[in-house]
Amino acid sequence: MLLKFLGTGTSQGIPVIGSHHPVCLSDNPKDKRLRTSAMVTTDSGKKILIDCGPDFRQQMLMNKEEQVDAVLITHEHNDHIIGLDDLRPLIFRNKASMPIFCNRRVANEIKARFPYAFSQQRYPGAPSFDLFEIEKTWILLDEVSVEPIDIIHSEINILGFKFKNLAYITDASKIENQEKEKLKDLDVFIINCLRKTEPHHSHLILPQVLELVDELKPKITYLIHISHHLGFHDEVETELPDNVHLAYDGLEIEF
């Protein structure tokens, strides 16, 4: 299987509109980050999108992606769901509703923000979504085992996803011990890391992430949901442990 990082930036992306921070002015493509999202390609070629934020259309075009067979949603914040309407060309081409997997709270939010996708009398051109509630480990697209990981994001519970021995987690501020048991000794650990210093109420920062890596002992870790305050990609890479790396837009990893 293959995972491609479609976006690795925090909710504002990098560069931030109107910011003159040095990272926002960088010419290095690895310092330019769209909102966090990923595409998993199965061994049979099926495409599983993780989150669908405001940069979804741009991400698909930039990466020459033309297919989405299912969508997994971590939580309902706009930088993770507001691009769902841009699934329309794929829905029209397939002549079938797009299956979206999420928890019940998120499903209700999607219905509230995209009511026209669930109308009994949809206007021509409206998308059509089929919502499926995630409760426990299940088989997606008849071939991929996905295990949900319960994550705390400030005041709400959100989802991470585990495929084989890879875990994908974004927007975590805390992970309870019982969920950490599912994350020990991974081959690949993908985790959010907002910045180097100054604690944040809803996101892990670098010292917390490195402590978590020491505890869980994955073979390799990739950082996502990065803000410009973390620093320049190339400089931060030299400061990290050998088994911890900054992900960047367009990076592909096999697992």
| Domain CATH number, residue 32 | 3.60.15.10
Cα separations in angstroms, 82 against 78, 85, 110: 5, 7, 9
List the structure tokens of 53.
């934020």
Q: What are the start-end ranges of the E strands in the chain?
A: 2-7, 37-41, 47-50, 70-72, 98-102, 129-133, 138-140, 144-153, 156-163, 166-168, 188-192, 220-224, 244-246, 252-254
Separation CA 203–CA 174 (nearest Å): 8
What is the rounded average pLDDT of the residues 115-129?
Answer: 91
Kind of pairing, strands 47-50 and 70-72? Answer: parallel
Mean pLDDT of the chain: 97
Determine contact, residues 98/87, Cβ cutoff 8 Å. yes
CA 71 to chain centroid, in Å, comes to 11
How does pLDDT run across 19-35, given as a tens digit for each residue?
999 999 999 999 999 99
* Ramachandran quadrant class, 190 (left: phi over 0; alpha: psi -120 to 50; beta: rest): beta
Domain span at 246: 2-136+144-254
pTM higher than the cut 0.95: yes
Q: Name 221's bridge partners.
A: 189, 244
How does pLDDT run across 197-215, given as a tens digit for each residue?
999 999 999 999 999 999 9
The reported pLDDT for the residue numbered 142 is: 87
Q: State the total domains in the chain.
A: 1
